Amino acid sequence: MATAAIARHPAAFWDRVWMWLTTVDHKRIGALYGVTAFLFFLLGGTEALFMRLQLMRPEQNMVPPETFNQLFSMHGTTMIFLAIMPLSAAFFNLIIPLQIGARDVAFPRLNAFSYWTFLAGGIMLNTSWFLGGALNAGWFAYSPLTGLTFNPGHGVDFWAISLILLGIASTAAGLNFVVTIVNMRAPGMTLTRMPVFVWMTLVVSFLIVTAFPVITVALIELAFDRAFGFNFFSVTAGSNPILWQHLFWVFGHPEVYILILPAMGIVSEILPTFARKPLFGYMFIVFSGISIGVMGWMVWAHHMFTVGMGPVANTMFTLTTITIAVPTGVKIFNWIGTLWGGSIEYKTAMLFAVGFIAMFIIGGLSGLMHAVSPSDAQQQDTYFIVAHIHYVLFGGSILGIFAGIYYWFPKATGRLLGEGLGKIHFWLTFVGFNVTFMPMHFVGLNGMPRRQSTYAADMGWNLWNMVETIGAFILLASLLVFLYNFFRSGRKGEQAGADPWDARTLEWAIPSPPPEHNFDTIPQVHGRDAFWEQKHPHAAPVPAGGANGQLHPAEHQGGGHEPIHMPNPSYWPLLVSVGLGIAGYGLIYITHRAPGAFSLNWGGLAAIVVGVTFAAISTFGWYKQPAAGPEH
């Protein structure tokens, strides 16, 4: 028993801590991402519960307006940047190298750096609660409400600087996975033989690498406005505050697909396994994923239909937005095609996956209703939108992520998550989710604006707000069941074996949990569903996916006979992140400021100098340290 062993050998405990701090193993980093992001998910959920308590009845004063505004601002920021994105990153880390038959990601130490920088950003953002108050201007942080005049506290600075840090982490991770997927696939795994989850990760990684620079530019401008009195968004100096909205949503809409495509990839893995059929219309699913990624860049101003862009722009963005429903629909139809004629087994992972589809259909259709901009003028900034985003991001992303947790937990730990508790968890989640978010459609269409700390009693919203709060507590109960299941199964769960689901992709070909080097010999891939093909060599041939079915040159070389190089553990990435974190705090406090009066804060400057120096020295140490260990 691990804990008992630790109790007997205190030294072993510190060895383990050191091992986690210096790890560059993609599986351990994936676990770190997963556990950290889940803690942030619980934090964001707690923030939501406080909001639901305040809105349970009209005209309550349980949570004062200023606190309420911080709660919803931080709930959005936390769920998007600290929960869903890193939970997806956890799956990228755990699964991608295994699915493509690689021993690690392309840049293992950069991977560790991504995690530690993410952690630094997450901690920094949340320390704002104790250092004068968190962001209170919404996760979208519209100018000029974020300007010094209306927002003298440091909450906005904490938000801006920590989001820059999170952007650095995400961009590094995105680059890492682009390079990994492009370069490190096992011989024979052509692009059209890649599992769909790998494809969606590739699309998302490109989106991250291209979208985050946009928000980073906006954040730097905002930080300069606030710290040094620049005038990027200063209305009194003649700036147009709509510039912020464009920059934010040019990033923000690809971000939506960054949040949903990984879940779509997860579901595309789970359905074929439990239906015992290959994915229906692989090429259509892959291409619709790519086109969603590309079209995601052309629709940003549908978040701005009511800013007065004029009929030409509104028409343009209405048309591009409804067009994006086509590839989304294609995915759903192909998933149904995958189930059709299958032999479907309802393990918990599969329940969450089909729950995802059922709920995502609703979220997608309400999204289509928003695309129709004239009637959206009645829906914009109401609870109808809140309902929509939660059907997409909770009914979509979160259910997909839970599906992935149940599916890959045995691969990561060697033990199965309990099925009985899992099913209770699923049904509580499914019911609680609908009880919480379906009524938000109703109150929204009946005129309830979002981001309200309170509401009048005579508006006809009382009943459904009460119901929503009850639903939120059902969701809390479902999470408690999950946590209990997680800890119980982690210690006492049934042994999983290498391939508990009779699955189709390469990660199931190796033991659970996988050895440090993943594959003893790098597998040779001959088609899609590479592992299924190994198990069923006499079944109907899987389409090769390569041009004319010819072997890729790499296939002839075979693989795995070279010696195994595993990367060295390294504390340098952690130290670089610590340096960046210190410098980040310095940036937050770089000046004493009031509108029109700025003076340098020497403490802040000192922190920047110390942090940057520390990071630079650590980067040099990173550079000098040999990447790979001795041969095994």
Partner 1 sequence: MNGRGRLLPIAAAIGFVGIFLFWILYYGRTPETPQSIFEAAGPVARMQLNLFWWIFWAATIVFIVVELAFVYALFHFRRRSGDPLPAQTHGNMPLEIGWTIAPAIILAIIAVPTVSVLWKVLTLPNEGVRLEVEAVAHQWWWEFNYPSLGIKTANEMHIPAGTVAVIKLESKDVIHSFWIPKLGGKLDMIPGQHNVMWLQGDEPGVYYGQCAEFCGEGHALMRFRAIVDTKEDFDKWTALQKQPAGAPTTGAAAAGRDIFMGKGACAGCHTVRGTDARGPVGPDLTHIGSRLTIAAGIMDNTHDNLAKWIADPEGLKPGNLMGTVITKGKFSSDELNGLASYLGSLK
- Please return the burial class of 36, using the count of CB atoms within 10 Å of its CB with bins 0-12, 13-18 and 19+: buried
- 340 near partner 1, judged by CB under 8 A: yes
Q: Which amino acid is at 537?
A: P
Shortest distance, position 368 Cβ to partner 1, whole Å: 6
- The residue behind tokens 């569903």 is 529
- 346 near partner 1, judged by CB under 8 A: yes
| Contacting residue, 21, 298, 372, 476, with partner 1 by CB under 8 A | 372
- Draw the binding track, 542-571, toward partner 1 (x: CB under 8 A; -: no contact): xx----------------------------
Cα separation, 110 vs 576, whole angstroms? 10
- Kindly give, in sequence order, each residue whose CB lies less than 8 Å from that of residue 455, ignoring residues fewer than 6 positions away: 55, 58, 59, 448, 461, 465
Name 282's bridge partners.
Answer: none
Q: Residue 118 or 317: which CB sits closer to partner 1? A: 317
Q: Which amino acid is at 548?
A: N
Shortest distance, position 329 Cβ to partner 1, whole Å: 4
Name 389's bridge partners.
Answer: none
Q: Residue 17 or 283: which CB sits closer to partner 1? A: 283
Q: What's the residue count for the chain?
A: 632
Q: Residue 240 or 625: which CB sits closer to partner 1? A: 240
- 60 near partner 1, judged by CB under 8 A: no
Shortest distance, position 69 Cβ to partner 1, whole Å: 7
Shortest distance, position 282 Cβ to partner 1, whole Å: 7
Shortest distance, position 402 Cβ to partner 1, whole Å: 18
| Contacting residue, 45, 229, 342, 490, with partner 1 by CB under 8 A | 342
* Candidates 36-44, 214-222, 471-479, 537-545; binding stretch for partner 1 (CB under 8 A): 537-545
| Contacting residue, 6, 123, 290, 332, with partner 1 by CB under 8 A | 332
- Kindly give, in sequence order, each residue whose CB lies less than 8 Å from that of residue 433, ignoring residues fewer than 6 positions away: 359, 390, 394, 395, 399, 471, 475
Q: Residue 36 or 334: which CB sits closer to partner 1? A: 334
Assigned token pair, 630: 């001795």
- Draw the binding track, 379-398, toward partner 1 (x: CB under 8 A; -: no contact): -xxx----------------
The kind and range of the H/E element at 593 are strand 591-594
Shortest distance, position 341 Cβ to partner 1, whole Å: 6
- 377 near partner 1, judged by CB under 8 A: yes
| Contacting residue, 56, 164, 260, 275, with partner 1 by CB under 8 A | 275
Size of the site for partner 1 (CB under 8 A): 101
Q: Residue 116 or 158: which CB sits closer to partner 1? A: 158
CB 544 within 8 A of CB 555: no
Q: Residue 143 or 591: which CB sits closer to partner 1? A: 143
- 62 near partner 1, judged by CB under 8 A: no
| Contacting residue, 12, 39, 62, 358, with partner 1 by CB under 8 A | 358
Q: What are the φ and ψ backbone dihedral angles of 62, each rounded to 5 degrees?
A: -65, -45
| Contacting residue, 110, 325, 564, 612, with partner 1 by CB under 8 A | 325
Q: Residue 16 or 57: which CB sits closer to partner 1? A: 57
- Kindly give, in sequence order, each residue whose CB lies less than 8 Å from that of residue 244, ignoring residues fewer than 6 positions away: 141, 142, 143, 146, 218, 222, 233
- 195 near partner 1, judged by CB under 8 A: no
Q: Residue 145 or 610: which CB sits closer to partner 1? A: 145
Q: How far is CA 616 from CA 225, 480, 590, 622, in A?
A: 27, 43, 20, 10
Binding to partner 1 (CB under 8 A) within 277-316 occurs at 277-284, 306-308, 310-311, 314-315
Cα separation, 84 vs 258, whole angstroms? 9
* Candidates 131-139, 255-263, 408-416, 490-498; binding stretch for partner 1 (CB under 8 A): 131-139
User: Residue 567: helix, strand or coil by DSSP?
Assistant: strand
Other C-beta atoms closer than 10 Å to the C-beta of 203 total 24
| Contacting residue, 46, 127, 129, 138, with partner 1 by CB under 8 A | 138
* Candidates 63-71, 76-84, 108-116, 159-167; binding stretch for partner 1 (CB under 8 A): 63-71
Assigned token pair, 7: 């109790």
- The residue behind tokens 């070389």 is 557
Q: Residue 21 or 307: which CB sits closer to partner 1? A: 307
**Minimal CA–CA distance to 352: which of 407, 393, 390?**
407
Binding to partner 1 (CB under 8 A) within 429-468 occurs at 438-439, 441-442, 445-456, 458-461, 464
- 156 near partner 1, judged by CB under 8 A: no
Name 592's bridge partners.
Answer: 599
Q: How far is CA 488 from CA 1, 53, 361, 429, in A?
A: 13, 30, 34, 19
What secondary structure letter does DSSP report for 382? B
Binding to partner 1 (CB under 8 A) within 64-83 occurs at 64-66, 69
User: Residue 415: helix, strand or coil by DSSP?
Assistant: strand
- 238 near partner 1, judged by CB under 8 A: yes
- Kindly give, in sequence order, each residue whose CB lies less than 8 Å from that of residue 603, ignoring residues fewer than 6 positions away: 586, 589
Binding to partner 1 (CB under 8 A) within 102-121 occurs at none
- 348 near partner 1, judged by CB under 8 A: no
Binding to partner 1 (CB under 8 A) within 590-609 occurs at none
Give the distance between the most distant pair of CA atoms in the chain: 78
Cα separation, 136 vs 455, whole angstroms? 19
Shortest distance, position 122 Cβ to partner 1, whole Å: 24
**Minimal CA–CA distance to 398: which of 207, 267, 253?**
267
